[in-house]
Structure 1
Amino acid sequence: MRILVVGAGATGGAFGSLLQEAGRDVTYLVRESRAKRLRRDGLRFVSPGNDRTHQVRTVVAGETAEPFDLVLVTVKAAALEGAIADLRHYVGSGTFLLPFLNGMAHVERLDQEFPGQVLGGLVKIVATLDGDTVRQMTGLTTLTVGALDGAGVPEGVIEALDVPGIDLTVSRDVVGALWEKWAFIAAAGVITCLFRGPIGKIIDAGGLPKIIDAINELEAVAEEAGHPVSGQAHAQSLALLTEPGSAFTSSLYRDLTAGRPTEGEHILGDLAGRARHLGVPTPLLDLTLIQLRANRPTHG
């Protein structure tokens, strides 16, 4: 399969590199400035115990290329609309799209634009973009993929993604898996953004009961939406978000405190809207949204 990776950031660069190392046909859709640097310097990917630089193929929006077989959408939520406009030129009738964003709004948006061609996907990886270098901090690299309607994933897609370094799972209920991850990420965002600190300090300040309330509150939204969180996932959330002394913070919190744009509306705002529609009260989520919106970066 010819694979197009939309974005060469931390997630796109890491997964694209692993696919390329396994001999897959990979091209990156990036901005002109990023394309120039990649063509000149290659893509450097540093993972635990390995530091390598690959020469890569790139395409810039508007450049001519045949439709790709598989498109991995790895941009952040704020860049989704621009990515849709850019990648449209490279999607044919037989193309599958696999987004790696959190939440559900992006899946519905892509399916609206490319009906019947979108797969559900979620990844777990701890990586960052350091300048132009992709740095992976732990060995965790998982990818779960499934058909939105519960049908099978095309064998060609599974074969293309089943490579060394990527722990691939094919799910019969990928929508449920997406909701499960969404509930956890939202709970982590609510807890650390509302109480403005890492888990350990929040617990030390007497916040443990509210942490548990936040987890239960957001899992209640998933359950009412028809996608209850499994007992195993609930236990994992409790273990991670109630660990005494933990320095864990959410990416939402890190972006907020650094004054960067956040994915708050995509992760929390969308969930709050669905909760209201379903009649599920979410007082902690609502307070967190006020916090995020009141501290939203302004550009003059």
Structure 2
Amino acid sequence: MRYIIIGAGAVGGTIGGRLHESGREVVLVARGAHLEALRKDGLRLATPEGTRTLSVPAVGGPEEVDLRDGDVLVLAVKTQHSVPLLDAWAARPVAGGGTAGEVLPLLCAQNGVENERLALRRFRHVYGVCVWLPSTHLEPGKVSAAGSPLTGILHIGRCTGGSDATAEQVAADLAAAHFGAPVSEDVMRWKYAKLLGNLNNALEAVGGPIDGGLRLALAERTSAEGRAVLEAAGIGHAGAEEQRAAGRDRVVLLPIDGEERGGGSSWQSLARGSGDIEADYLNGEIVLLGRQHGVPTPLNAALQRLANAFAREGLAPGTLPEPELAALLES
């Protein structure tokens, strides 16, 4: 298998770098200054073991890759960037016949639950990947991942349910690359559990670390809204005990020399000044389901609006004034 990582940021760069180190063939897909740095100097991968530079091939898009049977596409971008990339890659011809959308497997290594639905409109063989992977991408050409002894846990399965030989082979390759990679017959249960865990990404991004007091109270209420919505919608998700049993405690955050860990993926979007953020597909998913099933979600709606405003206006992460943060409890 050759792994084509579409989006070589924190998650995609770490997965691609680790697979490359384990001897798998990998192509990274990136853009802008990040692509330029990857082509010029290689991928700098920092983990608790140290920082090293990996000579992984990097391209800017599908027109630079001759697709072949046996390729695996791994989509690892934020949801708001998925559609144009899915369109561009699905139409590409594959040596031996057919297009990527018809014959190649596509793995959605992404937060939220919308990507699989978007992908199924364009790809026949779509796999969900529930990503437990603490990683950071703040400067061109470099990603870091602080997890040890496992770099992360990546549940994988067919997004429509069940498993197959492709999922088993991908899981085996990931397991050889410092990941836990359970194959799941119902991977979306894991992705809905991760969605609940990601609802406070926006709170951290606009309000700072969730380290107790007011922020913890807000976090608990945000999560409670999410659980109430999923229950009303009849959507199951993996519970805390099930997640522990899956080995999440084997991803322990350790220091990386010369680096101070920042926040999660939404915090990083603001820190990089990317101009957009994933809140519409995290908090916004709960807002959508709440409206469909008659469950109020005022805090998730407020965090969705705030996160989008911070991204649109280029505001620094964690700078929401304390009185405005406190006012969220009244929303």
| Short-chain TM bin | 0.7 to 0.9
Q: Of residues 182, 190, 204 in structure 2, which corresponds to 1:169?
A: 182
CA distance in 2, matches of 1:141, 1:73: 17
TM-score, scaled relative to structure 2? 0.75
- Contact 2:87 / 2:122 at 8 angstroms: preserved in 1? no
| 1:45 Cα deviation from its structure 2 partner | 0.9
- Contact 1:7 / 1:29 at 8 angstroms: preserved in 2? yes
| 1:253 Cα deviation from its structure 2 partner | 5.0
1:153 matched to which residue of 2? Answer: 164
CA distance in 2, matches of 1:167, 1:178: 16
| 1:96 Cα deviation from its structure 2 partner | 0.7
1:122 counterpart letter in structure 2: C
CA distance in 1, matches of 2:182, 2:243: 21
1:189 matched to which residue of 2? Answer: 201
CA distance in 2, matches of 1:162, 1:172: 18
Q: CA RMSD in A?
A: 2.9
CA distance in 1, matches of 2:41, 2:16: 16
CA distance in 1, matches of 2:217, 2:135: 31
1:54 matched to which residue of 2? Answer: 54
1:242 matched to which residue of 2? Answer: none
1:95 matched to which residue of 2? Answer: 104
Report the CA distance shift for 1:98/1:209 in structure 2 as closer, same or farther (over 3 A). same
Answering whether residue 293 of structure 2 is matched by residue 263 of structure 1, we say: no
Worse-superposed segment, 151-160 or 165-174 = 151-160
Q: Of residues 51, 72, 75 in structure 1, which corresponds to 2:74?
A: 72
- Contact 2:101 / 2:123 at 8 angstroms: preserved in 1? no
1:2-24 Cα offsets, whole Å, 9 max, x none, are 21111221211111111112211
TM-score, scaled relative to structure 1? 0.82
CA distance in 2, matches of 1:101, 1:76: 7
- Contact 2:101 / 2:122 at 8 angstroms: preserved in 1? no
Report the CA distance shift for 1:273/1:22 in structure 2 as closer, same or farther (over 3 A). same
SS at match of 1:158: helix
Report the CA distance shift for 1:32/1:264 in structure 2 as closer, same or farther (over 3 A). closer
2:113 counterpart letter in structure 1: M
| 1:111 Cα deviation from its structure 2 partner | 1.0
- Contact 2:193 / 2:237 at 8 angstroms: preserved in 1? yes
Q: Of residues 255, 270, 277 in structure 1, which corresponds to 2:292?
A: 277
1:265-285 Cα offsets, whole Å, 9 max, x none, are 121223211221122221221
CA distance in 2, matches of 1:262, 1:223: 26
CA distance in 2, matches of 1:76, 1:164: 23
1:136 counterpart letter in structure 2: A
| 1:262 Cα deviation from its structure 2 partner | 1.5
Report the CA distance shift for 1:65/1:176 in structure 2 as closer, same or farther (over 3 A). same
Report the CA distance shift for 1:70/1:212 in structure 2 as closer, same or farther (over 3 A). same
Report the CA distance shift for 1:165/1:293 in structure 2 as closer, same or farther (over 3 A). closer
1:33-72 Cα offsets, whole Å, 9 max, x none, are 6444323312121111222212122333212502352111
1:243 matched to which residue of 2? Answer: none
- Contact 1:27 / 1:58 at 8 angstroms: preserved in 2? yes
CA distance in 1, matches of 2:290, 2:192: 13
CA distance in 2, matches of 1:295, 1:285: 15
Report the CA distance shift for 1:233/1:100 in structure 2 as closer, same or farther (over 3 A). farther
Report the CA distance shift for 1:263/1:54 in structure 2 as closer, same or farther (over 3 A). same
1:252 matched to which residue of 2? Answer: 266
Answering whether residue 49 of structure 2 is matched by residue 22 of structure 1, we say: no
1:244 matched to which residue of 2? Answer: none
| 1:109 Cα deviation from its structure 2 partner | 0.3
| 1:142 Cα deviation from its structure 2 partner | 1.3
Report the CA distance shift for 1:262/1:35 in structure 2 as closer, same or farther (over 3 A). closer
1:198 matched to which residue of 2? Answer: 209
CA distance in 1, matches of 2:154, 2:57: 23
CA distance in 2, matches of 1:179, 1:189: 15
In structure 1, stretches of 5+ residues that fail to align are: 237-246
| 1:149 Cα deviation from its structure 2 partner | 2.6
SS at match of 1:8: coil
Worse-superposed segment, 207-216 or 91-100 = 207-216
CA distance in 1, matches of 2:101, 2:123: 10
Count how many residue pairs are aligned between Structure 1 and Structure 2. Answer: 283
